[in-house]
Amino acid sequence: MNGIRLVALALLTGTSAVATPALAQDAAPSWSIDAAASDVYVVIRNDTNASLARLGHDHVIYASTFSGDITWPEQAGGACSVEIRVPVQKLVVDPPGLRAKAGLDDNTIDDGQKDKLKANMWGRSQLDAESHPDVVFRSTSCPGGVGKVEVQGTLTIRGVSKPLTATLDVTVSDGAFRARGGFKTTHEAHGFKPFQGSPFGPRNQETLSFSLDVRATR
């Protein structure tokens, strides 16, 4: 009976009953991520309480490429989802210009030391790139709309997923989507310890500070 009434209402009002799915789809568009125009990185700081801390450095680890899917309605409400997948072996240490953007000084390391740092980062005691090739963020709840929003989701590092909330500033203009913000997690939350080269050497702090500036188009 409900179906008959809907058809009758459509005939009386001159509308089409098949237009509803299209409207729902328009309310929650899919966006294509432009990784080349985006910045995704994590800041790892030197633990100043460690032995020989003076030999350590703060670093910014940059996702040179990533992929994902975004469904985001321009008005709050409706279907909404975010997934970002970063290949571990595409992470770059202290690329030119990014340390300043991340609020770090210019006290970096030479290219040979960067290569060694990447090898350590990909190793089994850290990100274990061979067994867990991607770092993945997936939303579990997001509001859509623009302005300051909170996206709840899970972050998976080396196969261990933990819930978190990312606070983002979202803008949508002329078919372009942009989300800027970040979140923090810890090594411990994902089942590993901050890197330390030797028992008496410098080590990283526990906190991992992620920053996102993601751009996408329709």
Domains, in order of start, for the chain? 28-217 (2.40.128.110)
Could you read off the pLDDT of 35-92 as tens digits, one per residue? 999 999 999 999 999 888 988 999 999 999 999 999 999 999 989 999 999 999 999 9
What pLDDT, on the 0 to 100 scale, is given for residue 26? 52
Locus of tokens 């509803």: 20
pTM of the predicted model as reported, rounded to 2 decimal places: 0.84
What pLDDT, on the 0 to 100 scale, is given for residue 1? 44
Collapsed DSSP state (helix, strand, coil) of residue 43: strand
Could you read off the pLDDT of 149-178 as tens digits, one per residue? 999 999 999 999 999 999 999 999 988 999
Q: Reply yes or no on whether the pLDDT at 33 is more than 70.
A: yes
Q: What's at 13, amino acid-wise? A: T
What pLDDT, on the 0 to 100 scale, is given for residue 199? 84
The token pair at 88 is 């571990």
What pLDDT, on the 0 to 100 scale, is given for residue 18? 39
61 contacts 42 by C-beta, under 8 angstroms: yes
165 contacts 150 by C-beta, under 8 angstroms: yes
CB atoms within 10 A of CB 207: 16
Q: What's at 194, amino acid-wise? A: P
The average pLDDT across 91-96 equals 97
